[in-house]
Amino acid sequence: MKVKRIVSNIATANPSDAEKFYSAIFGLEIVMDHGWIRTYSSGEDMITQISVASEGGSGTPVPDLSIEVDCLETALERVRNESIKIEYGPVTEPWGVRRFYIRDPFGKLINVLQHE
C-alpha cells in the first residue's frame, strides 16, 4: 500500500469563511465545493508528510498548519494588506527557514515559511 495524499480538515460551521483568507493570502483555488466542505489547492504536486512536534521551534507553540511559499515577502505583504495580526516573526530560524505565524479565520495557528 502507498499513501497517495494526506488532507488537513478544519472544522467550521461555515466553510465559505475560508475563501478570503486562503485565496487572498495564499492564492489557493477551490477545487471541490459540496457546500459542507470546500477544498483549496495550489495545483502543485506535494510530498506526503505528517509532522509530530513537542513545540514549534524556537520555543513557539506547535502550529496547526505549515504553509511553505516561494516568496515570504509577498505573503507578508498580503497579510499586512488584510490587517491580519502576525503572532510570531518574521524571523530567520537557525534551521534555514524564514517564517512567521498568523491565525486563520477559525483560530488555527499557521506557520508560513520559505526555505532559504
pLDDT tens for each residue of 70-110: 999 999 999 999 999 999 999 999 999 999 999 999 999 99
What pLDDT does 91 receive?
98
Average pLDDT over the chain, rounded to an integer: 96
Domains of the chain (ranges; CATH) run: 15-115 (3.10.180.10)
70: Cβ contacts below 8 Å, ≥ 6 apart: 114
- Least Cα distance to 60 among 108, 9, 115, 109 occurs for 109
Q: Which three cell numbers stand for residue 38?
A: 470546500
- Please count the helices (runs of H) and the strands (runs of E) in the chain: 3, 6
Segment 49-65, tens digit of pLDDT: 999 999 999 999 999 99
Sign of CA dihedral 41, 103, 34, 2: positive
This prediction has a pTM of: 0.94
